[in-house]
Amino acid sequence: MGKTKSIFTIIAILSLLLLAACGNNKSGEVEKEKGTNSNAAGKNYTVEHAMGKTTIKGTPKRVVILTNEGTEALLALGIKPVGAVQSWTGNPWYDHIKDKMKNVKVVGTEDQVNVEAIAKLHPDLIIGNKMRQEKIYDQLSAIAPTVFAETLRGDWKENFSLYAKAVNQEAKGKEVIQQFNQRIADIKKKLGDKTNMKVSLLRFMSGDVRIYHKDTFAGVILDQLGFARAKGQDADDFAERNLTKERIPAMDGDILFYFTYDTGDGGASSLEKEYINDPLFKNLKVAKAGNVHKVNDVIWNTAGGVIAANLMLDDIEKIFLHK
């Protein structure tokens, strides 16, 4: 009888140990599942944007960005996106950001987004732009919380502030803007009366020549530095487009910057040479004074983000202060 009791006792102890082991294993699996959810930590927050309001769970870890200037914003905030639209020029990224974009997946272009490619990346936040991608907002929102900026023109800081809020990095965002504003103030002080020079901005594209006004990436930065603008260019709108050679006199100023958007077909570069070498252009006061400067289209216009803005300030310093 004593032996039988001992056997039952041993069986009971072994059963309890087995149940405990199973319980520990089950608990471990639950913890592992929780660990895979990048949004498990952190509080929910709501972002108001061009398409309404979006609630984001925790701090996003896998962000897809659908504008070039937005890509620069994320990089400046210390965030490498898991997916991004291809740069307008470059293979696939602009030269000035390519070292920071290694292993980032291409998800189409700003005006032709690849929704399938985005879904495969399992993002926890998508950032886009109403001006570019309004038609696919609902599709994107079905994949992950989606935040859209309103437009792409003018001051990069407006969109940047929205992006910083969307990725839960408002404090860092304010710091980046404060540093840029301080740099503007410092350069403006060094420039002194040089800002009295009337600046002309010109862009060559395939089949199109434009004079850029103040509501442009470069125009806003020049305005922040306090530069005067050439006659007819001191307007708070975008640009005068499709200029014929008869409008070459309108390009004159004390100093002229021009940039060429060349996609590889040679059309824009050919147009640039045609206009720059035209007798009417050579007869401009600014050309005779030797104050015509070709600058990088990506930096002065196309990229449109905070990194490019700082590189444009580098150019201003070199041209005006380090001659």
Q: Quick check: is 136 in a domain?
A: yes
Q: Work out the burial of residue 9: count CB atoms within 10 Å of its CB; fewer than 13 is exposed, 13-18 middle, 19 or more buried.
A: exposed
- H or E element that contains 201: strand 198-205
Q: Quick check: is 150 in a domain?
A: yes
pLDDT of residue 219: 96
User: In which domain, by residue range, is 255 found?
Assistant: 187-322
Number of domains in the chain: 2
Query: pTM for the whole thing?
Result: 0.85
219 and 145 together in one domain: no
Q: Work out the burial of residue 45: count CB atoms within 10 Å of its CB; fewer than 13 is exposed, 13-18 middle, 19 or more buried.
A: middle
Domain-ending residue, one of 118, 140, 168 = 168
Contact of 117 with 93, CB cutoff 8 Å: no
- How far apart are alpha carbons 140 and 138 in whole angstroms? 5
DSSP class of residue 241 equals -
141 and 222 together in one domain: no
Q: How far is residue 212 from each of residues 1, 172, 188, 232, measured CA to CA in Å? A: 102, 32, 21, 10
67 and 152 together in one domain: yes
Q: Quick check: is 7 in a domain?
A: no
Chain centroid, CA 141 distance in Å: 20
pLDDT of residue 41: 53
- How far apart are alpha carbons 123 and 116 in whole angstroms? 12
Domain-ending residue, one of 133, 168, 203 = 168
Q: Quick check: is 19 in a domain?
A: no
108 and 233 together in one domain: no
191 and 318 together in one domain: yes
Q: Write the CATH number for 67.
A: 3.40.50.1980
312 and 194 together in one domain: yes
What are the average pLDDT values for consecutive 10-residue runs of the chain, which has 323 residues? 42 38 35 34 88 95 97 98 96 96 97 98 98 97 97 87 97 98 98 97 97 96 97 94 97 98 92 97 98 98 96 97 80
Chain centroid, CA 315 distance in Å: 20
220 and 152 together in one domain: no
Burial track 112-136 (b if 16+ CB lie within 10 A, e otherwise): ebbbeebbebebbbbbbbbbbbeee
